[in-house]
C-alpha cells in the first residue's frame, strides 16, 4: 500500500537514478545553476554513482549542449537552463494578487491546418505560460502573472493563435476546475507533502546512499509537480490550497540535500552503502 501511494505521487523509491539525472538535478538546485566538478562527483558518490560514470556523463552533457564548462565549473545551458528558470519560478512563493484586476488572457488557435510538431510546440508553450485549455484550441488564464514572462513561449503562441488581453470572463468555479484540474493537483500536492513530512529526522541526519536516493527522487517529484501549479489568484483557488506548503517542503528538502553535499565535499566522504 505504501509503495502504491508513493508511486501515485510520482515518487518511486525503487527507481534507479542515472548519472545524468543526478547531475541535472544537482545543478538545477544549485545557486546560479553552477557547481564545481568536485561537488558533482560527490553528489554522484552520495547517490551511489561511480566517479567514472559522473565524468562520462558530464562530457556527454557538454557535447549535447546541456552544460557548459570553464575552469572545472559546470553550468546549465540550453533546455536545462530553461528548465531551471521554470523551476525557480515554480518553487518560489507565489506572487501576491494585488495587481490582478479580474481580467483574463486568451489564445485561440487560428484557422488552418497545423502539423503535429506545431501542435506539440503550442501545447508546450501554453503549459509553460500556465495557460489552461478551455477547449481544444482555446487557452486562457487570469492575468495575475507577469505578462512579459517566457518570451520564447509567447512567440510560439503569437505565431499560431489570435490573442486577447484584459478579457472579461464570468468564469464559474466549475469552469476553473475543468480548465485547470485544481482538485487533482491539490490532491497530489497533499500526498507529496505527506510523504515528505513522513521522512524520519534521524535518516536526514545520517542518510545512507539508498535513503539519499529516496529524498532525491522525492525532490524531483515535488519540483515536477510545482512546475504545473496554475498559480491562480486566491479567489479562484479552493480553500486550503496546498501549493505554498509544498513549496516550503521542497525548500526544506533542497536545503537538507545541499547541506549534506557541502559536508561531503568538505570532508571528502560519502554516504554509507
For residue 187, give Cα distances in angstroms to 44, 128, 244: 33, 21, 14
Handedness of CA 1, 247, 210, 55 (dihedral sign): positive
Per residue in 221-253, pLDDT (tens digit) is: 999 999 999 999 998 999 899 999 999 999 888
Q: Is 228 exposed, middle or buried (0-12, 13-18, 19+ CB in 10 A)?
A: middle
Percent over 70 (pLDDT), the chain: 87
Distance CA 147, CA 101 (A): 13
Could you report the per-residue pLDDT of 113-149, keeping only the tens digit for each? 899 999 999 999 999 999 999 998 999 999 998 888 8
pLDDT in tens, 81-91: 988 988 888 88
More confident call, 242 vs 29: 242
104-109, strands of its sheet edge to edge: 132-135, 138-142, 104-109, 161-167
3-class DSSP state of 103: coil
Per-position b or e across 11-26, b if 16+ CB within 10 A of its CB:
bebeeebebbbbbbbb
State the cell numbers at 178. Answer: 475543468
Residue 36 has pLDDT above 80, yes or no: yes
DSSP 3-state helix, strand, coil percentages of the chain (rounded to 5)? 55, 15, 30
What confidence score (pLDDT) does residue 167 get? 92
- What pLDDT sits at residue 31? 80
Cell reading at 146: 507577469
Stronger pLDDT, 85 or 162, i.e. the higher one: 162
Q: Both ends of the chain: CA-CA distance in Å? A: 26
Amino acid at each position: 500500500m505504501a509503495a502504491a501511494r508513493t508511486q501515485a505521487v510520482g515518487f518511486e523509491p525503487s527507481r534507479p537514478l542515472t548519472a545524468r539525472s543526478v547531475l541535472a538535478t544537482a545543478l538545477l538546485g544549485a545557486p546560479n545553476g553552477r557547481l564545481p566538478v568536485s561537488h558533482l562527483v560527490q553528489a554522484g558518490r552520495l547517490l551511489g554513482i561511480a566517479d567514472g560514470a559522473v565524468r562520462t556523463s558530464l562530457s556527454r552533457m557538454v557535447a549535447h549542449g546541456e552544460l557548459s564548462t570553464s575552469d572545472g565549473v559546470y553550468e546549465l545551458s540550453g533546455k536545462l537552463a530553461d528548465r531551471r528558470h521554470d523551476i525557480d519560478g515554480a518553487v518560489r512563493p507565489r506572487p501576491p494578487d494585488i495587481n490582478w484586476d479580474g481580467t483574463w488572457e486568451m489564445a485561440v488557435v487560428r484557422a488552418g491546418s497545423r502539423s503535429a510538431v506545431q501542435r506539440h510546440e503550442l501545447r508546450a508553450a501554453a503549459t509553460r505560460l500556465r495557460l489552461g485549455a478551455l477547449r481544444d484550441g482555446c487557452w486562457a488564464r487570469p492575468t495575475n502573472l507577469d505578462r512579459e514572462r517566457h518570451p520564447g513561449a509567447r512567440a510560439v503562441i503569437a505565431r499560431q493563435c489570435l490573442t486577447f488581453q484584459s478579457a472579461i470572463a464570468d468564469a464559474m468555479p466549475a469552469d476553473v476546475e475543468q480548465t485547470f484540474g485544481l482538485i487533482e493537483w491539490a490532491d497530489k500536492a497533499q500526498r507529496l507533502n505527506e510523504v515528505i513530512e513522513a521522512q524520519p529526522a534521524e535518516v536526514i541526519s545520517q542518510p545512507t546512499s539508498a535513503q539519499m536516493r529516496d529524498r532525491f527522487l522525492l525532490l524531483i517529484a515535488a519540483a515536477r509537480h510545482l512546475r504545473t501549479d496554475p498559480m491562480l489568484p486566491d479567489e479562484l483557488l479552493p480553500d486550503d490550497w496546498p501549493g505554498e506548503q509544498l513549496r516550503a517542503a521542497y525548500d526544506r528538502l533542497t536545503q537538507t540535500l545541499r547541506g549534506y553535499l557541502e559536508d561531503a565535499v568538505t570532508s571528502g566522504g560519502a554516504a554509507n552503502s
